[in-house]
Amino acid sequence: MLRALAQFTGSLITANSKYDRVMNGLDTFTRFEAKGYAHFKAFCASCHKEPLFTDNSFRNNGMKLNRFNDAGRMRITGLPADSLKFKVPSLRNVQLTFPYMHDGSVFSVPQVIDHYIQLNQNLSGLDTALQKPIKLSKLERNELTYFLYTLTDTSFTKSKRFNPDGPVFYLH
């Protein structure tokens, strides 16, 4: 069963988002999406590296100790330097993966962006990539949101292969 599950999950490939089509020369960003992509590269790409939109590292993103007292990576390593460090998630299909942050405390992409804009850069242990303020106007926040939504692959998320009302698959 474990091998079948591993084979199935390994076959789940999301690579036909608008972002992917643009990178493959098959589509173009709108003006808002293109500006959002520029904001992304300026403020987000150091942790959310293309094309997977993660660097798979563990970082302190300024979230405080939550109601679960989840100290992050420190729970695993026992190292105080790992306090409140959490794995950088992929932003692929971000439009559909709410709630956000490691504890599910943020419910929309614009709220996540606001977290980073309003972040106190003097927090102890804050990742060095976040120690420079992010300054975005309301319009620029919207542009960044439009770009992030281009990372959602609706051909994958709406595939009949995974539709509960679609065909039934049997393991042989």
Query: How do residues 34-79 score in pLDDT, each as one tens digit?
Result: 999 999 999 999 999 999 999 999 999 999 888 778 999 999 999 9
Helix axis angle, 109-117 to 138-149, nearest 10°: 130
- The answer for residues whose C-beta is within 8 angstroms of residue 14's C-beta and 6 or more apart is 92, 93, 153, 156, 157
pTM of the model: 0.88
Distances (CA, A) of 71 to 98, 116, 118: 21, 20, 22
| In the chain, % of residues over pLDDT 70 | 94
| Arithmetic mean of pLDDT over the chain | 91
CA gap 141, 148 in Å, rounded: 11
What is the token pair recorded at 1? 């069963």
Query: How do residues 78-94 score in pLDDT, each as one tens digit?
Result: 999 999 999 999 999 99
H helices then E strands: how many in the chain? 7, 2
Q: Are 37 and 120 in contact (CB under 8 A)?
A: no
Q: Are 36 and 19 in contact (CB under 8 A)?
A: no
- pLDDT category of residue 100 using cuts at 50, 70 and 90: very high
pLDDT attached to residue 172: 40
CA gap 67, 60 in Å, rounded: 17
- pLDDT category of residue 170 using cuts at 50, 70 and 90: very low
**Domains defined for the chain, CATH in brackets:** 15-155 (1.10.760.10)
- pLDDT category of residue 117 using cuts at 50, 70 and 90: very high
Collapsing DSSP to helix, strand or coil, 138 comes out as helix
pLDDT attached to residue 167: 45
CA gap 73, 58 in Å, rounded: 7
CA gap 24, 20 in Å, rounded: 6
Query: How do residues 130-141 score in pLDDT, each as one tens digit?
Result: 999 999 999 999
What is the token pair recorded at 129? 């990539």
CA-nearest of 25, 61, 66, 67 to 46 is 61
Output helix, strand, coil percentages for the chain, rounded to the nearest 5.
40, 5, 55
pLDDT attached to residue 82: 96
Q: What is the mean pLDDT of residues 117-130?
A: 94
Q: Which residue has the higher pLDDT, 164 or 127?
A: 127
